[in-house]
Amino acid sequence: MSQSDPIADFLTRVRNASDAKLRYADIRWNKTVQHIAEVLKNANFIEHILVRTDDGFPQMRVFLKYGVKRAPIIRGLRRVSSPGCRRYVGAKKIPSVMNGLGLTVMSTPQGVMSGKSAREKGVGGEVLCYVW
């Protein structure tokens, strides 16, 4: 199975699992996708990540986080840059999501990080997705 956009696949699988109130989502492993998942974990949007190998293919299991009465913590995910249309911003123009309640995930020269971290370090880069 060839995949042209593993980030969009990751976001879709997490969104669908969250909407279905599943405990976890299985995603095909990719280094960039793992870094995005780690950013989400550090921002308390997901519980933890497990990387394992099934039938020779690395898989990543992302355990989702829920609140009171099993309300999902992740309310929305949106892909910003795509393989056909990249979106880059400078350090001073990093967008805020939901007036600071959400998270901007960026790919910078210093690695994948949240928009807040990129703003603090003074680096810009590609806006990968928004999470709220």
pLDDT for res 54: 81
The distance from CA 26 to its chain's CA centroid, rounded to whole angstroms, is 14
Q: Which of 27, 30, 2 is nearest to 12 (CA)?
A: 27
Cα–Cα distance, 13 to 126 (Å, whole number)? 22
Cα–Cα distance, 37 to 41 (Å, whole number)? 6
Instruction: Domain of residue 28: give its range.
Output: 6-131
pLDDT for res 4: 87
Q: In tens digits, what is the pLDDT along the chain, a chain of 132 residues?
A: 447 899 999 999 999 999 999 999 999 999 999 999 999 999 999 999 999 998 888 999 999 999 999 999 999 999 999 999 999 999 999 999 999 899 999 999 999 999 999 999 999 999 999 999
pTM passes above 0.85: yes
| Residue 73 is assigned to a structural domain of this protein | yes
Structurally, the chain folds into a number of domains equal to: 1
CATH number at residue 98: 3.30.1490.10
| Residue 61 is assigned to a structural domain of this protein | yes
What does the DSSP assignment read for 27-67?
EE--HHHHHHHHHHHHTTSEEEEEEEEETTEEEEEEEE-B-
| Residue 1 is assigned to a structural domain of this protein | no
Residues in the chain: 132
pLDDT for res 1: 47
Question: Are 127 and 88 contacting, i.e. CB atoms less than 8 angstroms apart?
Answer: yes
Cα–Cα distance, 5 to 104 (Å, whole number)? 18
Cα–Cα distance, 31 to 28 (Å, whole number)? 10
